[in-house]
């Protein structure tokens, strides 16, 4: 770990001013990912600005039934267990509880989780010479290396890393809005625009600017999200990142045909992958296995596997079918 300065802020404006003055600085939330990356020498900030005392730890209903606002400093465990989340957005609660371990969830924050970095082996260990995300222009160690946990959708020749968060997969399905504060004031970033695909700039995970602070995540009101589900496939029963995961919500019309669908996939791409093609396939269809399989096929049509991860393509299709079947059964 490199030497760095440490300071603590209690006001969001102070945080923004502070970070703007430190181009190599970082905000410190729960620290469950950042400190780990600093120990590995992957992140080498010269300043840590501790934002744990910012007044951003509330979960509250938005006025006019517009949904729920979640403060960036809310701990993962608190969010998962909150009555509003459990009743209105079970997919989010399930996603959170499927991630990490109780100890990590007690520390990890919502804002930090949005900025969680990939578990790509070649990124995580600086002794690997090749990683475009860590060291732009050094090539990708994973494409011809060990790529069992890597992306099958939306990847580029520059980077095939995946986004590791479970929570973000649920937020992608729920069309969450990320509210941030910068030197010029506040702005809203729709969830689909928050994380980036790697393209030619894999070093940038998100569209958040360096001098911006995540303040809130807004969950819009989606009545049918009370019937939503998170399915996670993994190598061991707990404390493992998703091989593939599915966040899904379904709405049905009076004839039990699918009226609306929200599906996002985890473990398959550089960002939480909103399954637009699958959703489109479902609308107006009966909720049966044939429909679900067709949706899975449609979403994975563009998938490309590598030496060790091609199994994810079939795995993702099966996960979509199973998640939707579970929701269909709840109809």
Select 178 or 278, whichever has its Cβ closest to other proteins: 278
Do the beta carbons of residue 96 and residue 82 sit within 8 Å? no
How far is the C-alpha of 16 from the C-alpha of 211, rounded, in Å?
Answer: 6
Min dist. Cβ of residue 234 to other proteins (A):
7
Select 41 or 183, whichever has its Cβ closest to other proteins: 41
How far is the C-alpha of 310 from the C-alpha of 257, rounded, in Å?
Answer: 33
Min dist. Cβ of residue 294 to other proteins (A):
17
Min dist. Cβ of residue 125 to other proteins (A):
7
**279 has which bridge partners?**
none
Select 71 or 112, whichever has its Cβ closest to other proteins: 112
How far is the C-alpha of 69 from the C-alpha of 215, rounded, in Å?
Answer: 10
Note the residues at the interface with other proteins (CB under 8 A).
Answer: 1-3, 41, 119, 121-122, 124-125, 127-129, 141, 144-146, 148-149, 233-241, 243-244, 308, 311, 314-315, 318-319, 322
Taken in order 168, 173, 179, 180, is the CA torsion positive or negative?
Answer: positive
Select 167 or 189, whichever has its Cβ closest to other proteins: 167
Select 94 or 215, whichever has its Cβ closest to other proteins: 94
How far is the C-alpha of 88 from the C-alpha of 59, rounded, in Å?
Answer: 13
Min dist. Cβ of residue 162 to other proteins (A):
13
Supply 284's token pair: 């107006």
Min dist. Cβ of residue 122 to other proteins (A):
8
How far is the C-alpha of 165 from the C-alpha of 267, rounded, in Å?
Answer: 8
How far is the C-alpha of 266 from the C-alpha of 249, rounded, in Å?
Answer: 15
Cα distances (angstroms) measured from residue 14 to each of 50, 111, 178: 11, 17, 20
Do the beta carbons of residue 181 and residue 12 sit within 8 Å? yes
Select 208 or 242, whichever has its Cβ closest to other proteins: 242
Supply 33's token pair: 């990912």
Helix axes 289-300, 311-330, angle to 10 degrees: 140
Select 259 or 308, whichever has its Cβ closest to other proteins: 308
Query: Helix or strand or coil: residue 76?
Result: helix
Report CA 162 to chain centroid distance, whole Å.
Answer: 10
Min dist. Cβ of residue 238 to other proteins (A):
4
Q: How many residues does the chain have?
A: 331
Min dist. Cβ of residue 311 to other proteins (A):
4
How far is the C-alpha of 170 from the C-alpha of 176, rounded, in Å?
Answer: 9
Min dist. Cβ of residue 275 to other proteins (A):
17
Select 201 or 310, whichever has its Cβ closest to other proteins: 310
């Amino acid at each position: 770990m490199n030497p760095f300065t440490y300071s603590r802020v209690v006001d969001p404006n102070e945080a923004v001013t502070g970070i703007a003055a430190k181009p190599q600085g970082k905000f410190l939330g729960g620290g469950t990912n950042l400190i780990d990356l600093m120990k590995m020498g992957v992140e080498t900030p010269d300043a840590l600005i501790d934002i744990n005392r910012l007044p951003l730890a509330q979960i509250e209903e938005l006025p006019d039934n517009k949904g729920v606002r979640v403060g960036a400093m809310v701990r993962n465990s608190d969010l998962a267990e909150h009555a509003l989340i459990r009743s209105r957005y079970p997919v989010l609660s399930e996603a959170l509880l499927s991630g990490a371990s109780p100890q990590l969830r007690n520390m990890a924050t919502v804002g930090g989780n949005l900025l969680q970095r990939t578990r790509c082996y070649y990124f995580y260990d600086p002794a690997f010479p090749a990683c475009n995300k860590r060291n732009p222009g050094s090539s990708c160690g994973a494409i011809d290396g060990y790529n069992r946990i890597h992306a099958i959708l939306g990847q580029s020749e520059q980077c095939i890393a995946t986004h590791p968060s479970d929570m973000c997969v649920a937020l992608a399905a729920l069309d969450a809005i990320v509210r941030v504060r910068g030197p010029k004031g506040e702005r809203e970033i729709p969830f689909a625009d928050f994380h980036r695909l790697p393209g030619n700039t894999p070093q940038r995970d998100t569209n958040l600017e360096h001098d911006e602070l995540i303040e809130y995540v807004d969950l819009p009101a989606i009545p049918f999200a009370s019937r939503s589900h998170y399915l996670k496939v993994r190598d061991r029963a707990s404390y493992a990142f998703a091989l593939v995961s599915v966040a899904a919500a379904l709405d049905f019309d009076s004839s039990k045909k699918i009226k609306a669908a929200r599906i996002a996939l985890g473990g398959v791409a550089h960002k939480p992958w909103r399954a637009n093609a699958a959703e489109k396939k479902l609308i107006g269809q009966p909720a049966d296995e044939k429909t679900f399989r067709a949706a899975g096929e449609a979403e994975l049509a563009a998938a490309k596997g590598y030496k060790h991860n091609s199994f994810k393509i079939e795995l993702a299709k099966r996960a979509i079918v199973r998640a939707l079947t579970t929701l269909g059964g709840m109809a």
